[in-house]
Structures are given as C-alpha cells and as structure tokens.
Copies of this chain bind each other. A is one copy, B any other.
Amino acid sequence: MDESIGLDPLKYFFEPKQVALVGATEKLGFGYGQTRTLIERESGRRLFLINPSKATVFGRRTYARISDLPGRADLAVLIVSSPKVPAILREWAAKGGKTAIIQSAGFAEIGARGRSLQEEISTIAQETGLRIIGPNCVGLVNTANGFSTTETTPEAMTPGPIGVIAQSGVFGNILMDWGPEQGVYFSKVVTLGNRCDVDESELIRYLGRDAQTRVIALYLEGVKDGRRFMAAVREVAPDKPIIILKSGRSSAGRAATVSHTGTLSGNDEIYSGVFSQVGVLRADNIQELFDLAKALTIRPLPKGKRIAILTTSGSLGAMTADVCADHGLALAELSAETIQAVRADAPPWMNVKNPLDIGPSGLFGRTLDRLMQDPRVDAVIAIFVIPWMIVQSVEAQGLTPQQFLGDLAGSPKYWGNKPLLVSIIGKQALKTMALSITQGKVPVISTPENAVRALAAMIEYQMRTSG
C-alpha cells in the first residue's frame, strides 16, 4: 500500500454520501441493530438496503443485488455470512464502490477454512483498490456527522476529543457504553477486527489529521506491521498523545488473541520497548485507558513533578501520596504565602500541609484556588470525598454544587498555567455531580491512584514532546 495516497480513501468510511447495507434485515439477531441504526441515522446520506429475498425491510424498498443500485456508492456495509462475502466485494468493486466494512465473523479467527476466505478478500482489496475495514468488527462511529454502522446509546454519539481504534468490535461497543458515564466522549471510534486491509497504522495517521481528535486511544491484541506502526506513531505522537491498551502479555493471553481475531500478539517485552521508544503511553486496563485519555486532552501539561493534593479525607491523601512516590512524582512544598493564606481561613484543627486535608471545613473552592496559584505547585489533584448525607444537607440549604465545591468549570480561565485533576470516590451520583460542575474542562478521574498515573503520563508526554 502506498502511504502517500493511502489517506484520502479513508474519508469514504467516515463521511460516506451513499451507503449500501448488504444483508439488511428486520429479523432480531445479528444485522438487526445495524439495519435499524443506519436507517435512523440516514440524515444527509443516501442509504440503499440490499436483500435478495425480501422486497421491503422496516417498510423500505430493498434492492436484490448490488448491480441493481441506481447510482454509485461510497461505502458498503456487509452483514452477510462469510462465504458470501468475496463475491459481494467483487460486485461492489465493479460497481465503483470505494470502501467496505465487513462486520461478518467466520474468517481467520476460526482456523484454516476462514483463513483462506480472508486471504481471498485481502487479494480482492489489493487487486481492485477497494479499501476494507474488518472482517469480524462492528465498523465505526463518527460523532461529528452522526454516522454509525453499529448500534450505540444516544450519549455515545455526543461529540468529544477522544479518537478510538479498537481491534475488537465488542470492545468498541463497551467503550461507547461506558465512556459517557465517565465523562469520556469520542470524536471517532473504529473497530478493526481481523484487519484484512485497513490497519491501525493508517488509522493513526488519519486520526492524526482529524480536526476533532485530540487524543488517540488504541486497543490492540497485536500490531499488524511493526515498521508501519512505528512510522505512524513517530509522525503523530508529537502532536497528539497516543495511549495503548494491549492484551496478549502472557502466553495464555496470546493464545486467546489467536482465536479471537487471528492475531499473533508477539512478545510483550518487545512491544514495551517499541512503545516507549516511539512515545506511546501504555494503559493496563479500560479504566486507565479512559483516565489517561481524559487527562491528556487537557492543556497545559505539567511543567514539573511537584504535585499538590487537596483532599477531604486524610486517608485518601496519604494513599495518594504513596502512589505519587510509586510513580516518581514529588509532593510540592507549598510556598509560605499559600500556607499563610490557607491558615488564615482554616479552623484550628486543620493541618496546613501537603496533602492538604480540609476535612469538613467546607473550604474546598477557596483552598483549591490558593493551590492552583502557588508557583511551587506544578499540578493539583483534588479528591472530592464528601459523605453523601452532607451533600444532601448542603443541597437542602439551597447551595449549588459550585458554591460548595468551587466553580471548577469557570476558574481554569484565570488559573491557566497548570493542570487540575479531580477525583471522586463514592456514589455514582457524586461522580455525576462532579461531571456537571467540571463540564469537561477539568478531567474527573475514576480514583486518586489513577489521577496520579494520569499525571505521570502527562509528564512523560510533556518530556518527550518538549525535549
């Protein structure tokens, strides 16, 4: 594949003007959700349904075969059984189709028979120039134009800064289900499946150019082509942080990836070396992938490693200090001015130190402000842990969360020069409240430990890109 001309055709995947759905069905089961979604989200596009044995699907006319279509089409979405796929692709290429997403399973992941079928479709792609995503995937989502080839919740279609490339289809669905509850919103989500043609390297470059994407999050079982991958990452990572979650670290995990997407996931130590060499940040699990992605969308990055911890629980303050030490971050020594100013407000039982435990003083907003303005502090982690009964009684007094906890969405304008990460422990309702106050301007991280990890990742990224 020639990289110089490899980028533009991918646009037809994300911004097709005409879409043909091959295998459209209103029968419950595989294909039902895709059909319904493409119909519901047709707006501004033209959708053709193809089904040789039913004249209508969901009350809309169908075409028996691709050759019957009235005009050209950019993208075909295939949800037919795997043995039918090669012939349909040839028809599609003959019709002038530019791209195809194969959602059907039954290829390299099921052994020899499937492998030969997959080789056949790879050959078709090479011979005809048709670009293919899949097979064995759920396609993609583009929140900017509301286009989706997979069923999602409405919240998952809210535009955001995080671009996702996931090798597995279900995995993409999980991220889209879980993300919005955590304040994670997507620009584009692509699932790769068995990668008979389009791979992560091409998509990294594509998302690198995508105006909506500020951070790229990857889930991979293995890299398809190591040299292409390294070249793509080297090109894109200086502008946009790339975070990877990779399975197949152990031999048992590697065996599992072969039967999942037919991937040889390779030696993990080699991967670790390569990732760190080209500046890819690594996450250990989905929660960490989300937390790092959220943190890395914000700017500025920390200018140093001196962290201040603001907490309403001394225990969590102490545990967070432990995790800072694990990650080589230092606790900031607060300036004399900050200490004096905080002491002036503080009740007598309050210890003015870092971590700064304000207990039930209610001084959250004001103290946060002082820490953010301390020149000896490079970044602040604010741990919101407020017993729910107290939250309720504060609300019963008519105070808004902003009055109680500080105007987290408004303040950063004048704080300006350093990052703030907020972390919540407790009820989902408290997390939802924090998300409503921060309005995506301050990342709300799942746990104080992950806030430290996210800061460590921000510092690592900062050092690489500024050095």
Contact = CB atoms under 8 A, between A and B. Distances in A.
A87 interface: no
Contacts of A285: 319, 447, 449
A6 interface: no
Interface string A92-123: 00000000000001100110000000000000
Interface string A163-181: 0001110110110011001
A353 B324 CA distance: 41
Contacts of A255: 321, 353
Contacts of A390: 33, 151
B256 A355 contact: yes
A260 interface: yes
Given A322-B253, A393-B33, A425 B168 contact: no
A414 interface: no
Contact of A110 (B245, B252, B351, B387): B351
Interface in A301-353: 312-319, 321-322, 324-326, 331, 348-349, 351, 353
Given A326-B250, A351-B109, A389-B153, A178 B260 contact: no
A236 interface: no
A249 interface: yes
Chain multiplicity (copies)? 2
Contact of A174 (B151, B259, B425): B425
A315 B151 contact: no
B389 A318 contact: no
Main secondary structure of the interface of A (DSSP, over half): helix
Nearest to A348: B106
A153 B388 CA distance: 7
Given A30-B360, A261-B314, A393-B33, A253 B325 contact: yes
B387 A315 contact: no
Contacts of A158: none
Contacts of A319: 245, 247, 253, 285
Contacts of A427: 177-178, 181
Contacts of A425: 174, 178, 286
A301 B2 CA distance: 57
Given A181-B427, A256-B355, A389-B152, A170 B312 contact: yes
A374 interface: no
A319 B110 CA distance: 20
Contacts of A359: 105, 170
Nearest to A261: B314
A177 B314 contact: no
A428 B426 contact: no
A406 interface: no
Given A153-B388, A153-B389, A173-B387, A351 B313 contact: no
A110 B260 contact: no
Interface in A170-210: 170-171, 173-174, 177-178, 181
A304 B244 CA distance: 34
A56 interface: no
Q: Which of A152, A256, A322, A324 has the most CB of B within 10 A?
A: A256
Interface string A246-273: 0111111111110111000100000000
Q: Which of A286, A322, A349, A359 has the most CB of B within 10 A?
A: A322
A63 to B, nearest CB: 26
B426 A170 contact: no
A291 interface: no
Contacts of A397: 28
A315 B248 CA distance: 9
A287 B106 CA distance: 38
Contacts of A316: 171, 174
16 contacts: A30-B360, A82-B349, A151-B390, A170-B385, A177-B388, A177-B426, A247-B319, A250-B322, A252-B321, A253-B318, A253-B325, A255-B353, A256-B317, A259-B351, A260-B351, A261-B314
Given A167-B315, A221-B315, 7 more contacts: A28-B393, A181-B428, A247-B319, A250-B326, A252-B331, A256-B314, A285-B449
Sorted from nearest, which 10 A-B pairs have the closest CB atoms?
A260-B314, A250-B325, A253-B322, A256-B318, A173-B387, A247-B318, A151-B389, A252-B321, A259-B351, A168-B315
